[in-house]
Amino acid sequence: MHPAIAHARDAFAAWLAAERGRFALFLPVCMGAGIIAYFGRVSEPSLWPAAAIAATTLGLAALRPAPPLLRAALLAICFAAGGFASARLATWRAPPWPDLPRGAVVIAGTITSLEALPEGRRVTLGAPSLDGAPPLARAIRLRLRDTDDILLAPGDAMRVRALIRPPSPPAYPGGWDMQRDAWFAGIAAYGFAIGPAARLQPASGGRWQNLRESVAARIMAALPGPRGAIAATLLTGIGTAIPPDDRAAFQASGLAHLLAVAGLHIGIVMGSLFGLTRAALAASERIALHAPVKRIAAVAALGGGVLYLALTGAHVPILRSFAMACLVTLALLTGRRAVSVRALALAALALMATAPDIILGVSFQMSFAAVLALVAGWEVLAPRLALLTAGRWWRGPALYVGGLAVTSALAGTASLPYAAYHFGNATLFYVPANMLAVPLTALWVMPWGMAALALMPFGLERLALAPMGAGIAGLRAIAHGVAAWPNALWPVPQMPPAGLLLVSAGLIWLCLWRTRLRLIGLAAMLAGLASPWLAPAPDILVSPDARVIAVHVGGQMFVSAAPGASAFDREAPGRVWGSQNGGVLSCLAGACPLTIRGALALLLIDPAADCTGATLVLSALPLHGRCRAPVVIDRFSVRAEGATAITLGPAGALRVTDHALRGRRPWVIAPATGTTPSGLPPAQTE
């Protein structure tokens, strides 16, 4: 054998030995790849081929003896096909879109959720009936009138006259797909009340059915204003009442994760219960000597986690965190390592198997990226930092501060690309903000919040909510103070999907392997982070109703918004280009000429304006075929093809439409179904 080949063989064998046991961590990655492959299609595939491949490869992998590499390849294919099949099955289980009326309708249904907003309330009605018709299989979410002060609670049957419409399509090709989210969430339509709500029947499910909302209401009654809204968010997960300026400050300072109940919160709750229970049991010498104190405390903490999970609404971040907590508890009971990448992999498998669509959500992506970076980072750094624990008196505090900084840096840096992709901006000062806010939350705000929940059955919650409110005032001061720093929130162009996949693949590769080959992941991450500036961005964006036409030329963005354009559609171009509105276009004789890379585009203000010689003609109004330009985009064309992105060049106009990207999928609402009277605003969540 040639020496080079022998050396390569020995190096590969040494690498396999060093990475033993790590391949299993990639099985959730394979499942996620299969789910992404399913959602990336433009037509609906059959379930049976993927299911057959998964079953066949699993059976072959179970055969013995089988070479390890072959078994690994078979398992990878099995999990990828299984992810594809689970996503297809989840789509099949979802009820189809109903036919909805175009005008006002009387809706009767049972309140499944009641949320307080900064102004008014929002209800979700289960099994709604429209004008007395049979109940729908999907829910309807409505915003009640601000002046409607009727007493309502979850479980109540109510009736209201409202305007509704199906979920809106993406604001631009490749943008947030509200229709897909609503499909898997079981939502049929969004809307707003145009008449007073009437309570038909009180809740019959007892006090536990509206416990969450009643707890939030009592908190906000004891702590009025923003402090109460934030306290209710931390203790119940209901964050709809937080004022927009506070939410924006927490986002700009890198503290938005404090308002999304997740691992930090349930960790504080369960850690506190574990410590209190263990200390209480250890106070008795007999119990301490003869009972498994540590295991009893772990079970008690898990029980508290279950209650906190139920109280905060069982959202994706808290579900992921609770799954991790269950594995940690199991590890404590069996004497195994409590926190590991393997536990995170098992939690990811459980969540993706039960709800495959969550992999596309920002909550899943940011939370798993942050936890993966924390667990893998501390696997590498903990042995080195442990050397600092002995010695002089100042090393303990220094280790705490350094550990807090490292934790903030790891979690914030790992989740930053996902926030930039979904929101179009990056927070620059998340490390100092978290170093101040996280200890305040963990050591003061949340413990007092837990005390308030314990005192609430006795009507004494104000005793604990007052100091909790003082701590929240400190959090708000930190958030607003850091958000006011120069360039605290840095707008960035939107990363293409391929760039986000590169970042994700690089992060996974970096965190899951042990040897130095893991550093290859850094190159993939850097390539993904650079993709917004390397991939060509479109020059023009047209919203799905053509009311918003945005142009990016010369490093500036210009937005033309017709009457009735939604705020969401007006803000969407800024997230794509990472720009602010640059001013007003120069328009003459009813048309605004734009020359981009030698191509002439005309934005018509008057449909009768002259469009001779233009490569591209844009209009928010119907042109009825009057212009003969190579590419004409008006209200009728976007109604048929969806939101449109155009790139201009010497060869003409390259057009990408929303319907071409999304294709014919069950959650894509056909134009004939999705049209509504022009006076209705688009349906957007708040």
Profile the chain (686 residues) by mean pLDDT over runs of 10 residues: 75 79 91 96 94 93 80 94 96 94 93 84 94 95 91 88 95 94 95 94 61 85 92 88 92 89 80 88 85 87 86 72 75 69 86 92 89 88 66 66 84 92 90 92 92 91 94 96 92 91 96 91 95 89 92 86 88 86 72 86 86 88 85 90 91 89 92 42 41
Which of 250, 233, 243 shows the shortest CA–CA distance to 479? Answer: 250
Distant-in-sequence, close-in-space partners of 23: CB < 8 Å, separation ≥ 6: 72
Return the structure tokens found at 248: 């924006």
Residue type, 227: R
**Orientation of helix 68-93 relative to helix 178-185, angle to 10°:** 80
Residue 226: cis peptide before it, omega within 30 degrees of 0 = no
What residues does 540 pair with on adjacent strands? 551, 646
236 neighbors 228 (Cβ within 8 angstroms): no
Residue type, 82: G
SS3 (DSSP) at 457: helix
Which of 584, 564, 582, 581 shows the shortest CA–CA distance to 572? Answer: 581
Domain map (residue ranges) of the chain: 19-93, 105-209, 361-428, 497-534, 540-674
Dihedral sign for Cα atoms in the order 331, 336, 338, 340 = negative
Question: Cα–Cα distance between 556 and 581 in angstroms, integer?
Answer: 7
Q: How far apart are the first and last CA of the chain?
A: 67
Distance of CA 28 to the CA centre of its chain: 19
332 neighbors 298 (Cβ within 8 angstroms): yes
Instruction: Report pLDDT digits (tens) over 530-580.
Output: 999 888 889 999 999 999 999 988 778 888 888 888 888 998 998 899 877
Question: Cα–Cα distance between 315 and 322 in angstroms, integer?
Answer: 10
Question: Cα–Cα distance between 243 and 469 in angstroms, integer?
Answer: 16
Burial category of 549 from C-beta neighbours within 10 Å (exposed 0-12, middle 13-18, buried 19 and up): buried
pLDDT of residue 683: 44
Distant-in-sequence, close-in-space partners of 173: CB < 8 Å, separation ≥ 6: 642, 643, 644, 645, 656, 657, 658, 660, 661
635 neighbors 545 (Cβ within 8 angstroms): yes
Question: Cα–Cα distance between 615 and 341 in angstroms, integer?
Answer: 54
Question: Cα–Cα distance between 445 and 439 in angstroms, integer?
Answer: 9
Return the structure tokens found at 124: 């979700």
Return the structure tokens found at 550: 């945005």
Pairing of strands 616-619, 631-633: parallel
pLDDT of residue 451: 93
